[in-house]
Chains A and B, each alone.
Chain A
Amino acid sequence: MNHFLTTEDLPRDDLESFLDEADEFVDVLSRPIPKVPALRGKTVATMFFEPSTRTKLSFEKAAKALSADTMSFSPSTSSLSKGESLKDTVLTIRAMGADLMVVRHKATGAPWRIAEWLDIPIVNGGDGAHQHPTQALLDSLTLRQHFGSLDGVRIGLVGDIRHSRVARSDIFAFATLGAEVTMVAPRTLLPVESTDWPAAASEDFDDVLQELDAVYLLRVQAERGGASVFPSLQEYVNRYGLTRERFRRLKPDAVVLHPGPMNRGVEIADEVADSDRALVLNQVSNGVAVRMAVLFRLLGGDRDA
């Protein structure tokens, strides 16, 4: 059974073939009728045990553009609140006819557990602070569209690396695709294991600012305790925010990415967010295309090939 759970062990060839296929889906999405019948009759279940707007909508849009049906699940209105176990919940949805499940869960590893229980492909839509592999694909695609290739592109990931599944997924994908990645964060917001990651580290944003071709701003994750290491948000802004002043000191052609939702005035200044060098909306539209590529890879064609 094929799943899509992490970018950590994805070889460069696989990553690039996902991106090549996503390019074709970008074309499909730009047609007058942005829909193909490839997954007619298949059902994609989006199981978001943790709140999300864009990722869930993006997966649903991707499924519909491939003519699959969608089923969705949200914990607050489900039997989880009546005490049903995770296993019973996913077995129930499978029994209703789901052919693939997109899982988001606050617990690290939850999609892997569900993959053991079920006989259908599982896509990780974000597990805890661990992985968010389709985000890494859409970020890689956005950068590849802009730079042509990630080879030698200098990317700085700035902010709360420790609590960020986006950072974990992106660092491995970017490095595999040949980029030079620097994590910019105070030591307290770098996880212990990050010394083994294919990325350099710096505590001083201003130090590396002028070397970067792309700045990837991470959201300050108050809900995962990311704000608590700073005495105040203003302190964070002063050291790690992409302020107007820092934006002006970037290379003139450097671009800015953010996974959303943005905290304007915290990690990203208004002027930066609205600049044409911010690729945030490209990231969002590319998200649909890469998720189409993932769904098509897992559900279209001979699954065991």
Chain B
Amino acid sequence: MPPPGMRPPGMRRDGMRPVLIQRILDEGDIGRATTRIAHEIVERNRGSTDLILLGIHTRGVPFADRLAVEIETIGGKGIPTGRIDIGLYRDDLDTRPKTRIGKTEVPEELDGATVVLVDDVLFTGRTIRAALDAIADLGRPSRVQLAVLVDRGHRELPIRPDYVGKNLPTSLDERVTVRFDETDEGEEGVWIERGGDA
């Protein structure tokens, strides 16, 4: 079976086609959302000299890199960008398929910094909960904010995003697929899959 990133959009893990696939964002939409979020981050953290972007594996990493580029374009100053893997902090290790642990790299001291956590899709909030635990083990930022490309709802924890590219109301039997050029094959974009027995 090909890894998830290699699946054509709409092709489910079991290889069956779902009933309906809809493209929600294309490459241009993602670019505009990225620019807007970058502006919001700069505006909200005006004057803060110690901003750090942390992308969550896998697709939070390229999204964080893109935000950093945009912020640099706006503010004229480089933003340190790191990545974290939350595989060792999950609360559902017993029931998930095993995945490889990715690199955790923090560009500088988190103590006292403003950390913007970056991920592609916000869903139950459990990934963010795990990421907050991971950050607490790495240092003590003065504040942590959350930027996501898509918020699909269905939170199971009291977590909310500070920056959202697209609010996407979904039902629980739908799947949201994000593909970035950096991490995935084929066309970039965000898709929603409905139907089937997902």
Contact = CB atoms under 8 A, between A and B. Distances in A.
B96 A301 contact: yes
B157 interface: no
A199 interface: no
B104 A24 contact: yes
Interface stretch (A28-36, A118-126, A251-259, A264-272): A28-36
Nearest to B137: A33
Nearest to A302: B97
Interface residues of A, number: 21
B138 interface: yes
A27 interface: yes
A66 B101 CA distance: 14
Contacts of A36: 88-89, 137
B96 A302 contact: yes
Contact of A38 (B88, B95, B100, B103): B88
A37 B89 contact: yes
A79 interface: no
Interface residues of B, number: 21
Nearest to B93: A300
A32 B139 contact: yes
Interface in A52-73: 66
A17 B100 contact: yes
A305 B93 contact: no
A8 interface: no
A22 to B, nearest CB: 10
B1 to A, nearest CB: 12
A297 B139 CA distance: 27
A37 B88 contact: yes
A31 B139 CA distance: 9
Contacts of B88: 28, 36-38, 66, 296, 300
Contacts of B94: 301-302
Interface of B: 85, 87-90, 93-104, 133, 137-139
Interface of A: 17, 20-21, 24, 27-28, 31-33, 35-39, 66, 296-297, 300-302, 305
